[in-house]
Amino acid sequence: MSKKIKSNDILNIAKKEFAYKKLLLTISGQEYEVLIQEKLNDTSITNLVTDLIERYEYCKTNNIEFNTIQHIYFLLVKYFTDIKFNTYKELEKSYKHELDTISALIDLEVFDQILNQFDKDTLKRIQNMFDKYSNQLKSVVNDEVKKAIIEGE
């Protein structure tokens, strides 16, 4: 027999479904504990994509080189681990620090240890989300270009 679902049931199920687990990383002989969310939730994936778009726009507006892959790697770590990054008043300085840290994780062969913990199906969902938003953005940009052309006539 089924029972009526309550908001607390939903919250508890989501908490279990998207729980964090402990991962031990060994870097230069030193062990570090990192909490990682193996199964990625849609709201965080959406926030990740939105954050990536905002970063891209900021870099484009300020003539800053934008490395899409490194920004995605950073956002995966930001949204789905408990690794903390320094923050700075200037966004450009924050971005540089974040990307330098991701480069160091890659060079130290730690990033792959983190990435391998993520559920493969949810990583595919992230890719699909990027494709979906990419297509939506193209249509928005195309609409803006059309509007600018019409206004210019």
Question: Tens-of-pLDDT digits for all 153 residues of the chain?
Answer: 788 998 998 888 888 888 889 999 988 889 999 999 888 888 888 888 888 888 888 988 898 888 888 998 999 999 999 999 998 999 889 999 999 999 999 999 999 889 888 888 877 877 777 777 666 555 544 554 445 545 544
Here the tokens at position 78 are: 């930001």
Total number of domains constituting the chain? 1
* Cα first-last separation, the chain: 67
* pTM for the model: 0.77
- Rounded to whole angstroms, how far apart are CA atoms 6 and 72? 36
Chain center to CA of 14: 19
Give a yes or no: residue 49 inside a domain: yes
Give a yes or no: residue 82 inside a domain: yes
- Rounded to whole angstroms, how far apart are CA atoms 118 and 44? 14
Q: Tell me which DSSP letter residue 41 carries.
A: P
- Name the amino acid, one letter, at 87: T
Residue numbers of the domain that contains 143: 7-152
Chain center to CA of 153: 41
pLDDT of residue 49: 82
pLDDT of residue 100: 95
pLDDT of residue 134: 64
Give a yes or no: residue 81 inside a domain: yes
Here the tokens at position 2 are: 């089924």
- Name the amino acid, one letter, at 100: D
- What element of type H or E holds 42? helix 42-61
Using the structure block, give the residue that is written with the tokens 């300085």.
Answer: 93
Give a yes or no: residue 103 inside a domain: yes
Give a yes or no: residue 1 inside a domain: no
Give a yes or no: residue 45 inside a domain: yes
Give a yes or no: residue 2 inside a domain: no
